[in-house]
Amino acid sequence: MRVLITGAGGQLGRDLVEAFADAAVHPADVVAIEHGHLDVGDEVAVGEAVAAYRPEVVVNAGAWTDVDGCEADPARAHRVNALGPWWLARACARRGARLITVSTDYVFSGVAPVDGAGQPRAWTEFDAVAPLNAYGRSKAAGEQLVRQTLAEHHIVRTAWVSGARGRNFVTTMLRLAGERGQVAVVDDQFGSPTCTRDLAAAIVELAASERYGTWNRTNTGWCSWYDLAAAVFELAGVEVELTAQPSSALDRPAPRPGWSVLDPTHAEAAGLRRLPHWRDGLARLLTELAG
Ligand SMILES: NC(=O)c1ccc[n+]([C@@H]2O[C@H](COP(=O)([O-])OP(=O)(O)OC[C@H]3O[C@@H](n4cnc5c(N)ncnc54)[C@H](OP(=O)(O)O)[C@@H]3O)[C@@H](O)[C@H]2O)c1
């Protein structure tokens, strides 16, 4: 399988390169291109890259992930996060390649849907999107453009992503604990923490699948950001004063969804593997960070 990875310098992109190598894809068949060498928002450059490398599968890990930055510059967010996947889908359609592009829980409103008993339930792949902010709108538009352009696509919705080679919630918690000895974390937003190693392995699995579509792919289980912070400090053996605070205490330009739990039922019914529990993924991530 010949694979082209875009946005390969990000935390997920780096682990994707290793995951395809672990899957015994010959190194010469994995082309990893970082942002500096390919801007997915540049239609001509995207077309040329796909024509030059002739991949069977393109994996797009490139995105503008600065949520507050996107709020300030929605045109740039749309160019990268919506047009980028579209240009890739169009290039794949011309060259007979498949596309895997990564999306987000931020396509949803954050107001939990309820089950028959009136209890909150996780978002399925078939719930209506209703993004709260410019980042979510740009990602939802990217999904729609890919679906209408290329049948042979996988859209991978994930959430709360952390890897060893990126700036993320886990590395931020460890840094703040070291700098301040006390941390306040919101306890009214819920999601499924996901480590890039497990997400990359799930994407490798999809790369071999011809059952195309949209998939929820997060680590199993869910918690609040406060719970996640507590687990980081517990598993890392870090002493810190941890306090809970409401989201309203944070004055951020872009609103964040309160409920980001993604339901894996459809993906698992379609034969995809269940990802490990988030605490297991977190423990392995912390070991990697300590190594
Ligand atoms: N992080 C999360 O919590 C989270 C949650 C849900 C979904 N996701 C999705 O997961 C995917 C991977 O995100 P991540 O966590 O790995 O984020 P990341 O570490 O910020 O990586 C994103 C990469 O995309 C690159 N990029 C930015 N603009 C680009 C462009 N125009 N063309 C090509 N590459 C570009 C960035 O390069 P520069 O840094 O050089 O700009 C960076 O290397 C994204 O689709 C993201 O939307 C992430």
Q: What's the whole-model pTM score?
A: 0.97
| Length of the chain (residues) | 291
Residues known to be catalytic: 135
Token pair of 284, please?
Answer: 């392995």
pLDDT digits (tens, 9 = 90+) for 242-270: 999 999 999 899 999 999 999 999 999 99
Closest residue by Cα to atom 31, ligand 1, is 39
Place of tokens 């796909």: 50
Token pair of 90, please?
Answer: 């169009």
Question: What is the average pLDDT score of the chain?
Answer: 97
Question: How many CB atoms neighbour CB 126 within 10 A?
Answer: 8
- Ligand 1 centre distance from Cα of residue 115 (Å): 33
Q: Whole-angstrom Cα distance, residue 81 to residue 288? A: 29
Which pLDDT band, with edges at 50, 70 and 90, does 165 fall under?
very high
Which pLDDT band, with edges at 50, 70 and 90, does 27 fall under?
confident
Q: Is the pLDDT of residue 2 over 90?
A: yes
Closest residue by Cα to atom 1, ligand 1, is 161
Q: Whole-angstrom Cα distance, residue 43 to residue 230? A: 44
Q: Whole-angstrom Cα distance, residue 232 to residue 228? A: 6
Phi, psi for 181 (deg, rounded to 5): 75, -5
Q: Which atom of ligand 1 is nearest to the CA of 199?
A: 10
Token pair of 118, please?
Answer: 């009136």
Model pLDDT, residue 170: 98
Structural contact between residues 17 and 10, judged by C-beta atoms closer than 8 angstroms? no
Model pLDDT, residue 26: 80
pLDDT digits (tens, 9 = 90+) for 42-79: 999 999 999 999 999 999 999 999 999 999 999 999 99
Q: Which atom of ligand 1 is nearest to the CA of 60?
A: 45
Token pair of 264, please?
Answer: 């894996």
Token pair of 152, please?
Answer: 């042979």
267-4-216 Cα angle (round to 5): 15
In the chain the domains, ranked by start, together with CATH numbers, are 3-167+193-219+261-275 (3.40.50.720)
Structural contact between residues 15 and 200, judged by C-beta atoms closer than 8 angstroms? yes
Model pLDDT, residue 87: 98
- Ligand 1 centre distance from Cα of residue 61 (Å): 6
Q: Which atom of ligand 1 is nearest to the CA of 40?
A: 32
Which pLDDT band, with edges at 50, 70 and 90, does 97 fall under?
very high
- Ligand 1 centre distance from Cα of residue 207 (Å): 19
- Ligand 1 centre distance from Cα of residue 166 (Å): 10
Model pLDDT, residue 101: 98
Model pLDDT, residue 8: 98
% pLDDT > 90, the chain: 96
How confident is the model over 219-242, as a mean pLDDT? Answer: 98
Structural contact between residues 30 and 5, judged by C-beta atoms closer than 8 angstroms? yes
Model pLDDT, residue 22: 87
Ligand 1 pocket: which of 34, 161, 199 to mutate (most atoms <8 Å of CB)?
161
Q: Is 35 left (phi over 0), alpha (psi -120 to 50) or beta?
A: alpha
pLDDT digits (tens, 9 = 90+) for 114-162: 999 999 999 999 999 999 999 999 999 999 999 999 999 999 999 999 9
Structural contact between residues 169 and 225, judged by C-beta atoms closer than 8 angstroms? yes
Q: Cβ < 6 Å from ligand 1: which residues? A: 6-7, 9-13, 35, 38-41, 61-65, 80, 84, 102, 104, 139, 158-161, 166
% pLDDT > 70, the chain: 100
Structural contact between residues 196 and 15, judged by C-beta atoms closer than 8 angstroms? yes
Question: How many CB atoms neighbour CB 100 within 10 A?
Answer: 26
Q: Whole-angstrom Cα distance, residue 186 to residue 70? A: 22
pLDDT digits (tens, 9 = 90+) for 167-191: 999 999 999 999 999 999 999 999 9
